[in-house]
Amino acid sequence: MHSVEVNDLAKSFGDVQAVRDVSFAVQPGEIFGLLGPNGAGKTTTIRMILDIFKPDAGTVRVFGGTLDMAGKRRIGYMPEERGLYKDEKLESTLIYLAALKGMDEPAARSRLSGWLEEFELTDHRNKKVQELSKGMQQKAQLIATLLHAPDLIIIDEPFSGLDPVSTRQVKRLLDEQRQAGKSILMSTHQMYQAEAL
C-alpha cells in the first residue's frame, strides 16, 4: 500500500493555477523528491496532502484512504516556514508538539534526550527558541518532525539554513529513516540535494 497517492491534483487561487494535473505515489521505504522552482506549487501540493487545502480536482489518499485524525498523528511535517514557539524553551516546546501527536510526556521526554544529543542541542534545551541560531532552530524543527516516530515524513526545503556538516547529518538521518521503512516526501528546488538522496 502507498503511504501517499495523488491523482490528477489541481488547485487554483483566483486566476492563478498553483497546481495542475499532478500525480504521484510514495511507498514505504522511499524518499520521494517533489522538485520545482519557487512558486511551482510544491507547498500547495503538500498542503492538499495534509488536508489543509481542499483540491479543486483530483484525489489524495494517505495510508490507503481519506486522512483522518489517526492518520494525521502518523505524519511528521516540517514546513518551510518554521513553526516553533520562539518565546518558549526548546525542551518544553518539543514535548508539547509531541503531545499534540499523541505521545505522553514521559515517553516524549525519554525519546527527546537522544534526539537532543544527536543534534548537539542538549546544552541548549532550556534556552528559548529565539535564542538559538537559525541552524539550531532548523535542527529543532527536524526533531519536532521526527520525535513521535511518524510513518510518513513530509519535509519542505529541509536544508535551508544548515551548514555543510549539518546538511550531511540530516541526509544521513533521512536515509536511516528510509531504511527503517518510513516514507519521506521531500520538497526542494535544489536538484542536487534530491539526487543525493
What are 123-175's pLDDT values in tens digits? Answer: 999 999 999 988 888 889 999 999 999 999 999 887 777 788 888 888 889 99
**Which three cell numbers mark 66?**
481519506
In this predicted structure, the answer to whether residue 194 has a pLDDT above a threshold of 70 is no
DSSP 66: -
Model confidence, pTM: 0.91
For 42-91, what is each residue's pLDDT tens digit? 999 999 999 999 999 999 999 999 999 999 999 999 987 767 888 999 99
Spatial distance between the Cα atoms of 83 and 72, rounded to a whole number of angstroms: 17
Q: Is the Cβ–Cβ distance between 44 and 17 less than 8 Å?
A: no
Q: At what angle do helices 134-146 and 164-179 cross, to 10 degrees?
A: 10
Measured over all CA atoms, what is the biggest interatomic distance in the chain, rounded to whole angstroms? 50
